[in-house]
Amino acid sequence: MIEDEPNIIEAIGFILSRDGWRVATHSNGVDAVGAIETRKPDLVILDVMLPGRSGFDILRDLRAGAGTADLPVLMLTARGQAQDREMAAALGASRFMAKPFSNAEVLEAANALVRP
């Protein structure tokens, strides 16, 4: 999970861990792609607004990478306007979710993306 808000990290980490997921977190955009490439996750939950680099830029790099082009990415953002959804779709986000969201929505989305 690439997210800089401690409350969101704690909430999502808890609900996913309770469902059997192993959750690793990273909280800045600058070296997020490297962290993802090193950890090789089954799913990335990616915030749009991060310190140092936007989630959109990170997603663009992931989709261009050889080992990350097909990696499921759930985008989270406090900015849920149509243009943000369109940008996420154009860059290849697997799913887009606006904050605030329910714990059940995040869990359902994660499971749908990885365990169809």
pLDDT in tens, 48-95: 999 999 999 999 999 998 889 999 999 998 877 889 899 999 999 999
CA distance 41 to 79: 25
> What is the pLDDT, as a whole number, of residue 66?
84
> What is the pLDDT, as a whole number, of residue 1?
97
CA distance 14 to 60: 28
Class of domain 6-114 (CATH, top level): alpha beta
> What is the pLDDT, as a whole number, of residue 46?
97
Domain positions in the chain: 6-114
- Give the type of residue at 24: A
Per-chain mean pLDDT for the chain? 94
